Structure 1
Amino acid sequence: MNSTPEANINSISRPEPSAPRSLQNLTILSFNARKSWETTSIVLDKCAGYVDIIMFQEPGWKGVRRQPSTRNKEGDVACGPPLHNSWRPFTEAFDNRDEDRAARRVLTYINRRLDVFKPQLRSDIIKHRDASIVTLHFPQPRRGIPHEFNILNVYNDGETHAAVHELRRISETLPRISLCAGDFNIQDRTWDEGAANQIRPSSPFMRLQELFTDLEIQYVHPVNRGTPTRIPDDENSRASVIDLVAASAALINQEGFHYKIKVDDRERWGSDHWPLQIEVPILGCEPEMRCKRKIEAWSEEEDDYVTQICGDLGRMTENVSESAEELETIMGRVSTAFERAWEAYSEERKPSRHGKKWWNENCKKAYQEMGENGGPRNREMRNKMRKTLRVARRQYFDKQIHNMASDRKRPWDLMPWTRERKMPAVEAILDSKGNSCNTEEKLFETLHNTYNAADNREV
């Protein structure tokens, strides 16, 4: 396995807040939150800028709202995980009143910047409170990084070992696992020098080794080997290694793949575990990012674009087509008119969360001029820049208000409840055989067969 220099073991490299996040590596965190809502929330907030995936074991749940009930006048309490603008939670719904649907002890969060990989909770494969699989779909797979990159999150109860037993039972139906991490609650000298060897065939360690063999994955040592992962509250108790990482051989052989145990007590946030930070190189697997051509709404370019289109179409209406050939010729001219206008007034833009719609060419020129004359330290240039920005904002919003009130006459478009809303994470759609619909063709066929099952049948 590849390793990193010792000097970097306990250091955390975080990009500047304004720097764009590269997709050359996936940073994955595996952490036992000790059933704490506060710990789960803090980790989500602190790691939003540099972590891509967080695999929680024993996450914090609490009542988030009340829902109608047939037994309680005040309604039943609906429990849920912490929500964050940067993260999507991937977990099944549960009901604490039903033993078969008790609160999940694993919870995986995917950063929204990974939406391009279409993350999917594979509840069609496994439905268990102590294990979950999330699949990332890489458009450009390569050795070690398959098209379907399956991540297995595990919490293995130290008394029942229910997760290991369940995974062994369904191991033949599980897909190829690329990465597995979690709290296994199993001690052995293989990863913990202070523990005893478990050589009995029925021991939890041997059962876990058999599971790894069935899944074609193997245990991976951290770069700071020998570091414990669980620090008990009792100072007289021995610290142990029970949080493990296993991966496929192809992924382990990838240059740059490694993980470390973060031993900074400040980053435990009240938990008795230290988090594991895993680095997965995906260079060459990320989708090609292309700049899109765009015309900003309510801009001068938009006015010029509309004016040119209207002028070209107005001149075409003077000629009446009397045959199919003439109609095809006119439609070709219409297409050419739109294409020329679009090429003339649109420009390539890179999406940025810091961009402002009111920013125009005058703002750009003023900013460049200020940079050439001493930057913000030059009071005269700084005041000129502020004045330019103030005028640009005023012109933009005055035009937008006029458009809403006079031209479109839809002032309610300014209200947030009329805009597009983000959909919650959903489970995979299954076909009649119980297989997940991972392609558009399978999805269309499944929906077609479902809603048109009675088509062309005799009544």
Structure 2
Amino acid sequence: MSSSPTEVSGGGVFQDVHIFSQNVNCNYAHVDYVLENLKDSVDVLFFQEPPWRTIRQTVSIALVESDIVMGAPRYPDWLYMVRPPTDECNPCVIAYVHRCLAHLCPSMQWDIIDHWDIFVLSLFTPKGAVNFLNIYSDNAHTAINLLSQEVNMLPAFIYMGGDFNCHSKVWDPAHTLYPLVAQHLLEFASDVRLEWAHSSNPGLTHTLHNPDLASSVIDLVFMGPLSMLSDLPRLDLNCCGPLDHVPISTLVPISEFEIRISRMVILRKSPEESGFLIDITTGLWALNVEDLFSPDTIEVATSAVAEVFSLAWNAHAKEVVITACSKS
């Protein structure tokens, strides 16, 4: 990992971005601590479940009482980016971008996807835009399901990280199951050319303080194949603080990414979509689902359903070339 924000080549080109991701469990003091202590070593802070409270009061010319300003901690070294609350729903993801990246015009892309659990950050390099995802997915898997539904409308990404609240034997050896939501997450990642990146120092990421509850791995990072050749994510145990989520530090190269890439899609109202739906219907009709009275048989049936969808997708999906700014 770099010891100072953003390594820059001799020609002034940004080489990589150091990202620190953690579920901070609404802990204002910890966020304040991280902002101060990582300002010389990290480029982007991705927080899940950030604190959201009164930070100051301002004088109002219209009201006798002062206006209350809500938000998360601010710090002069960091550009503060957050989706404002709507319908009394506070944001579940937030980003702080170090001012050393100001030349890359960091932008929060509401137009790509607008949801309080999903944050899209774009940086604009000499080769074009590169996109990053900060995710908080609740116990109902809201963010994962939304990403899966909107995958054909999303651009390419070079990083996705956060608290996914998703258990799977793929990233947690203590779990023996491979739930459907985990498959959806992996399929989405594959569709946007990302892969799950195991940590260089593997370990539990959600270490519960209650000894009666089992700790697990639910904080994840997904990276592009080129990124994983250079530097794997690292569990940043020294910066965990009093929280039960271990932060993950990742060095993401951005200089070698070409903007034009391809991915597999099925266009809406196309012949491929018709064939896909026919294969799905035929495959599901042929399944034996009479005995669903035990967890094992339910898991087998779930895997069979997933296999039907996978075979149909592979048979009818077509490769299309997109750009980092493309939305179709």
Q: CA deviation at 1:125?
A: 1.1
Q: CA deviation at 1:278?
A: 0.2
CA contact (8 A) 2:159 2:252 kept: no
Q: Separation in 1 of the partners of 2:52 and 2:225? A: 35
SS in 1 for 2:237: coil
Which residue number in structure 1 is paired with residue 123 of structure 2?
136
Structure 1 residues 213 and 280, CA gap change in structure 2 (3 angstroms): closer
TM-score, L = length of structure 1 = 0.51
One-letter amino acid matched to 2:99: R
SS in 1 for 2:97: strand
Q: CA deviation at 1:59?
A: 1.0
Which residue number in structure 1 is paired with residue 143 of structure 2?
163
Which residue number in structure 2 is paired with residue 150 of structure 1?
131
Which residue number in structure 2 is paired with residue 272 of structure 1?
244
SS in 2 for 1:233: coil
CA contact (8 A) 2:24 2:47 kept: yes
Q: Separation in 2 of the partners of 1:190 and 1:276? A: 18
Residues 31-61 of structure 1 deviation map (CA, whole Å, 9 limit, x = unaligned): 1111111111111111000100111011112
CA contact (8 A) 1:130 1:163 kept: yes
In structure 1, stretches of 5+ residues that fail to align are: 1-11, 142-146, 286-437, 439-459
Structure 1 residues 21 and 52, CA gap change in structure 2 (3 angstroms): closer
Number of positions where the alignment pairs a residue of Structure 1 with one of Structure 2: 252
Determine whether 1:243 maps to 2:219.
yes
Determine whether 1:93 maps to 2:84.
yes
Q: CA deviation at 1:234?
A: 0.8
One-letter amino acid matched to 1:122: Q
Q: CA deviation at 1:13?
A: 6.5
Q: Separation in 2 of the partners of 1:30 and 1:49? A: 16
CA contact (8 A) 2:233 2:249 kept: yes
* Identity value in percent: 28
Q: Separation in 2 of the partners of 1:277 and 1:13? A: 11
Q: Separation in 1 of the partners of 2:107 and 2:90? A: 20
Richer in helix (by share): 1
SS in 2 for 1:134: strand
Residues 261-315 of structure 1 deviation map (CA, whole Å, 9 limit, x = unaligned): 1223xx2122111110101234679xxxxxxxxxxxxxxxxxxxxxxxxxxxxxx
Which residue number in structure 2 is paired with residue 119 of structure 1?
106
One-letter amino acid matched to 1:213: S
Q: Separation in 2 of the partners of 1:283 and 1:120? A: 18
Which residue number in structure 2 is paired with residue 213 of structure 1?
190
Determine whether 1:234 maps to 2:233.
no
Q: Separation in 1 of the partners of 2:191 and 2:136? A: 18
Determine whether 1:223 maps to 2:210.
no
CA contact (8 A) 2:6 2:17 kept: no
| Pairing of 1:13-28 with structure 2 (within 5 A) | 14=3, 22-23=7-8, 24-28=15-19
Determine whether 1:258 maps to 2:245.
no
Among 38, 50, 53, which residue is 2:29 paired with?
Answer: 38
Which residue number in structure 1 is paired with residue 47 of structure 2?
56
Q: Separation in 1 of the partners of 2:188 and 2:2? A: 34
TM-score, L = length of structure 2 = 0.70
CA contact (8 A) 2:54 2:69 kept: yes
Q: How well do the aligned residues superpose, as a CA RMSD in angstroms?
A: 2.5
More relative contact order in 1 or in 2 (CA 8 Å, sep 6+)?
Answer: 2
Structure 1 residues 72 and 240, CA gap change in structure 2 (3 angstroms): farther
Structure whose alpha-carbon radius of gyration is higher: 1
Q: Separation in 2 of the partners of 1:236 and 1:72? A: 51
| Pairing of 1:308-387 with structure 2 (within 5 A) | none
Q: Separation in 2 of the partners of 1:177 and 1:282? A: 11
Among 158, 163, 166, which residue is 1:183 paired with?
Answer: 163
One-letter amino acid matched to 1:47: L
Structure 1 residues 176 and 21, CA gap change in structure 2 (3 angstroms): closer
Q: CA deviation at 1:162?
A: 0.9
Q: Separation in 2 of the partners of 1:221 and 1:277? A: 12
Q: Separation in 2 of the partners of 1:252 and 1:268? A: 24
Residues 85-122 of structure 1 deviation map (CA, whole Å, 9 limit, x = unaligned): 11001112225xx24xx210000111000111111110
One-letter amino acid matched to 1:133: V
